[in-house]
Amino acid sequence: MRGLSFPENKVKTEVMSLSPPFRIGLGYDIHVLTSGRPCILGGVTIPSEVGPEGHSDADVLLHALADAILGAAGLRDIGHYFPNTDPKIKGIRSTLIVQKALDEVTQRGWKIGNVDLVLIGERPKIMLKIVEIKKSVADLLKINPEEVGLKATTNEGMDSLGQGKAIAVQAICLLYRG
């Protein structure tokens, strides 16, 4: 019966309107640590005998963050936008990668609510740089430092992270309709 098609359309409209005005996204990255490389985390240079290896400036913290931002909007990961096989972007500053992620979600009507980051590794120690890194990330995302969580944990001596051979970061991001 033709009359039955109306409720079906109504249900479809209601389901669409249930889509929440916020999204969360998750990011993860890990880099090998090697001597003779700068150690840049969250856009801040950290005094360290070792630094992350990578095609870019290897800012593992910003890579995880960019993926969290992109993921929250259902977009592709940073490898899609910045393939590590592209010689043109060798040594690129990762602040530009986060800027690109921010531009992509902003164009789609999203704003950053907050981000939270966990750095996992034995070295370098970032305790003395946490405030500076939080401010750097906040400035990059145009949010307040209180909206940037940053913790560091060891891996209790286990595997490559625990043995100081690598550094990893987990990131989560909340987007909302501005």
Which chain residues interact with Mg ion by CB under 5 A? 29, 63
Q: Which is nearer to Mg ion, 65 or 105 (CB)?
A: 65
**Closer of 112 and 166 to Mg ion (Cβ):** 166
Query: Distance between CA 176 and CA 73 in Å, rounded?
Result: 10
CB of 30 to Mg ion, least distance (A): 8
Query: Closest separation between CB of residue 140 and Mg ion, Å?
Result: 16
Closest contact distance (angstroms) between CB of 41 and Mg ion is 12
Give the nearest distance from C-beta 52 to Mg ion in angstroms.
Answer: 8
- What is the rounded distance in angstroms from the CA atom of residue 148 to the CA atom of residue 42? 11
Closest to Mg ion by CB, 29 or 122? 29
Residue recorded with tokens 């990131």 = 171
Exposure pattern of 131-170 as b/e (b: 16+ CB <10 Å)? ebbbbbbbebbebeeebbebebeebeeeebbeebebbbbb
Q: How far apart are CA 72 and CA 148, in angstroms?
A: 16
Q: Which is nearer to Mg ion, 38 or 157 (CB)?
A: 38
Return the residue nearest Mg ion (CB atom).
63
